[in-house]
């Protein structure tokens, strides 16, 4: 509907900002100086002031919107189209090639046949766009007026997450995970990387920059297994992750920095969001493959005029009018997943010569063939050996394996509270195997005597320690054998196999968004010249956010909506904690394992007794400072400052 703003016409008609809003401000370039031109919040100025309702510049009552893909990015786009764009829900239609909604946020099964989850997402309290949306989505289990965010807070505020067995080795023994073990040169390398401009890092890999001592440190084990980074992945993406999670670095050793949902990601996020959208009239057309877009390109711009699709073997073309919009999820990190079970290995017949030919990737390739503004999908889908790994979901009845897992859990896994608190990584595993037991039950229909665990291996193409095969060559039972060997219970394997259902998932593109890239390889959310087309998901360019998170998907959706509809509303940049002196000092201390950092004692002396003395974390060496000529001079300087204060 058209919003009546006539009472504000004297202001809006003379405004330099109205209808000229910068929808995606960039904190890495903005000089934060107040002036008469600065009317909107600074780029990363997070808060309720950003919760204003944007005023559409026209009515969209007759506009139709087609969203390709029902993943979290597509669903978020529908939400923001309705909430901020005031587009009627019945005008929005999803087109998805799968027979179920949710995209990569999956979770299905039962106790008799086994549950399956291809992967999961670690969640952070600073996901401003995700929580902006889910604070308005009705709760899954609580009554009205509670939201998904309310449920999330209820669980995590009262059941803190942490791990007591982040690293294990030597057949199930907990190893010391209290220190990062970084050499001074490697700490300095991290600092230098944070200082580098993004433009300096095109097409560089992590191993191009960091030393062997860094790559062999505990820090890198924590980091790579938590985020699924390989040494050949993008150095730029690694840098962006370090900025994004600077505030959480000290909690990565025991996962105390994370918050997890009560249930799996499908039940937690997809189900309530889908119900909300459907209650607004949104239509979801499954089993519909979008092959290409009919785009008219001339000097005036790029306009989508039609959608070429296939449904039940029949080709169809959907006309797109001049007042209609199309939002496309480009690429897919879970496309072409192949599955196995206790007795069967995943059958993956693709190689690099045939990679990226499935519908999700082919659609992006077809767009890229029309114009360079649509990016270079081949940079991400052409090296399967570098972008793939395999996961396994274990549906477990009581067994020797469950008994061993109990020993490694913070609480009894049957209690409904935090269990392992995140992945447990086996450091002497050739596969670098990790497994996790999240809060149970992990599924709404899960019986009380069943546990659901998730396993993945970062080095799956190496020969196992016990089973002399690569992980993709193994059946589910053989993966169980390898896991039981590393837990010191291989002599009880028959008992474990009898009581464990295994479903494996081989995903050829699961870390494809981490592949080294350069400027222009990923398209912008609204590519240059496009008037009615937005691109969302993990393979589009944002200013400072990272990939492989739900937050980044929601961010791209929100940018697409605000930009296409030209709302007088901004999508705030990532949380500004990277600029917070407290977080910078905490990170420096943490990276040095809380041994005194250079100049720390000077800073402590200067801040002692002041309002700011709390910004340094206490450490055991505070009392071991040695006086020197320099410290004497500093003391004199401090005395002089004190005199000035009088």
Task: State pLDDT tens for residues 66-91.
Answer: 999 999 999 999 999 999 999 999 99
- Give the Cα separation of 425 and 435 in Å (integer): 7
Residues 328 and 439 in one domain: no
- Give the Cα separation of 106 and 442 in Å (integer): 12
Residues 323 and 340 in one domain: no
Residues 191 and 293 in one domain: no
Domain assignment present for residue 284? The answer is: yes
Domain assignment present for residue 173? The answer is: no
Domain assignment present for residue 94? The answer is: yes
- Give the Cα separation of 444 and 192 in Å (integer): 47
Residues 502 and 627 in one domain: no
Into how many domains does the chain fold? Answer: 4
| Entry pTM | 0.94
Residues 226 and 280 in one domain: no
Residues 147 and 277 in one domain: yes
| 3-state SS assignment for residue 248 | helix
Query: Which of these is catalytic: 122, 128, 151, 478?
Result: 122
Q: Is the pLDDT of residue 624 over 60?
A: no
- How far is residue 513 from each of residues 205, 485, 538, measured CA to CA in Å? 13, 33, 7
Find, among 3, 18, 223, 233, the residue nearest to 122 by Cα: 223
597: Cβ contacts below 8 Å, ≥ 6 apart:
588, 589
Quick one: pLDDT band at residue 644, thresholds 50, 70, 90? low
- Give the Cα separation of 291 and 310 in Å (integer): 7
Provide the edge-to-edge strand list for the sheet that holds 301-311.
288-298, 301-311, 314-319
We report the CATH number of the domain holding residue 295 as: 3.50.50.60
Longest distance between any two alpha carbons in the chain, whole Å: 86
Cβ neighbours, 10 Å, residue 422: 26
Which is it for the CA torsion 609, 615, 620, 624, positive or negative? Answer: negative
Residues 475 and 331 in one domain: no
Residues 233 and 321 in one domain: no
pLDDT at position 643, please?
60
Residues 443 and 573 in one domain: no
Contact (Cβ atoms closer than 8 angstroms) between residue 360 and residue 329: yes
Average pLDDT, the chain: 94
Q: What is the tens place of the pLDDT at every residue in 519-548? A: 999 999 999 999 999 999 999 999 999 999
Cis peptide before 42 (omega within 30 of 0): no
Specify whether 241 is catalytic: yes
The mean pLDDT of 355-368, rounded to a whole number, is 93
Provide the edge-to-edge strand list for the sheet that holds 533-536.
283-285, 92-95, 65-68, 325-329, 533-536
- How far is residue 65 from each of residues 192, 322, 619, measured CA to CA in Å? 45, 11, 57
Contact (Cβ atoms closer than 8 angstroms) between residue 547 and residue 555: no
Q: What is the tens place of the pLDDT at every residue in 407-434? A: 999 999 999 999 999 999 999 999 999 9
Query: Which of these is catalytic: 241, 266, 509, 562?
Result: 241
Quick one: pLDDT band at residue 451, thresholds 50, 70, 90? very high
15: Cβ contacts below 8 Å, ≥ 6 apart:
none
- Please give the DSSP secondary-structure letter assigned to residue 269: I
- Give the Cα separation of 122 and 137 in Å (integer): 20
Strands, E assignment, 118-196: 167-169, 173-174
Domain that holds residue 190: 178-251
pLDDT at position 146, please?
98
């Amino acid at each position: 509907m058209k919003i009546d703003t006539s009472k504000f016409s004297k202001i809006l008609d003379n405004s330099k900002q109205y209808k000229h809003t910068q929808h995606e401000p960039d904190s890495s370039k903005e000089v934060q100086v107040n002036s008469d031109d600065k009317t909107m919040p600074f780029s990363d100025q997070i808060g309720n002031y950003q919760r204003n309702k944007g005023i559409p510049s026209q009515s969209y009552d007759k506009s139709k919107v087609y969203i390709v893909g029902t993943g979290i990015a597509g669903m978020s786009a529908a939400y923001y189209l309705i909430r901020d764009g005031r587009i009627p829900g019945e005008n929005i239609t999803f087109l998805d090639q799968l027979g179920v909604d949710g995209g990569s946020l999956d979770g299905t099964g039962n106790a008799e046949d086994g549950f399956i989850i291809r992967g999961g997402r670690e969640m952070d309290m600073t996901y401003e766009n995700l929580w902006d949306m889910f604070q308005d989505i009705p709760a899954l289990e609580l009554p009205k007026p509670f939201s998904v965010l309310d449920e999330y807070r209820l669980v995590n505020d009262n059941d803190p997450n942490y791990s007591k067995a982040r690293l294990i080795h030597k057949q199930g023994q907990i190893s010391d995970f209290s220190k990062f073990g970084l050499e001074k040169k490697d700490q300095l390398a991290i600092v230098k990387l944070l200082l580098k401009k993004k433009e300096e890092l095109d097409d560089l890999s992590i191993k191009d920059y960091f030393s062997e001592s860094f790559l062999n440190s505990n820090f890198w084990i924590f980091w790579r297994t938590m985020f699924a980074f390989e040494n050949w992945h993008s150095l730029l993406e690694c840098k962006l992750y370090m900025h994004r999670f600077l505030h959480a670095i000290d909690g990565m050793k025991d996962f105390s920095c994370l918050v997890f949902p009560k249930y799996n990601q499908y039940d937690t996020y997809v189900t309530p969001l889908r119900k909300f959208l459907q209650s607004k009239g949104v239509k979801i057309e499954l089993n519909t493959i979008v092959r290409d877009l009919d785009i008219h390109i001339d000097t005036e711009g790029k306009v989508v005029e039609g959608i070429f699709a296939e449904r039940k073997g029949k080709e169809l073309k959907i006309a797109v009018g001049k007042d209609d919009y199309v939002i496309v999820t480009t690429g897919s990190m879970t496309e072409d997943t192949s599955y196995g079970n206790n007795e069967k290995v995943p059958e993956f017949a693709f190689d690099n010569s045939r990679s990226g030919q499935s519908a999700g990737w082919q659609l992006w390739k077809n767009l890229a063939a029309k114009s360079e503004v649509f990016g270079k999908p081949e940079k991400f889908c052409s090296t399967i050996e570098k972008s793939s790994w395999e996961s396994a979901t274990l549906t477990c009845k009581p067994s020797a394996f469950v008994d061993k897992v109990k020993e490694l859990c913070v609480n009894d896994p049957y209690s409904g509270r935090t269990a392992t608190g995140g992945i447990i990584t086996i450091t002497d595993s050739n596969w670098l195997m990790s497994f996790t037991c999240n809060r149970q039950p992990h599924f709404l229909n899960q019986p009380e005597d069943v546990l659901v665990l998730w396993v993945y291996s970062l080095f799956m193409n190496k020969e196992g320690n016990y089973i002399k095969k690569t992980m993709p060559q193994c059946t589910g039972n053989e993966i169980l054998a390898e896991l039981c060997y590393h837990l010191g219970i291989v002599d009880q394997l028959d008992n474990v196999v009898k009581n464990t259902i295994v479903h494996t998932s081989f995903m050829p593109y699961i870390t494809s968004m981490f592949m080294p890239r350069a400027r222009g390889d990923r398209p912008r959310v609204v590519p240059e010249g496009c008037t009615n087309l937005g691109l969302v998901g993990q393979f589009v360019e944002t200013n400072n956010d990272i990939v492989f998170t739900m937050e980044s998907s929601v961010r791209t959706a929100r940018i697409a909506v605000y930009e296409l509809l030209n709302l007088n509303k901004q999508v705030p940049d990532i949380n500004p904690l990277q600029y917070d002196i407290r977080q910078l000092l905490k990170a420096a201390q943490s990276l040095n394992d809380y041994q005194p950092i250079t100049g720390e004692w000077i800073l402590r002396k200067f801040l002692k007794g002041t309002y700011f003395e709390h910004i340094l974390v206490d450490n055991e060496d505070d009392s071991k400072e040695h006086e020197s000529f320099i410290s004497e001079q500093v003391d004199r300087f401090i005395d002089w400052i004190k005199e000035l204060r009088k």
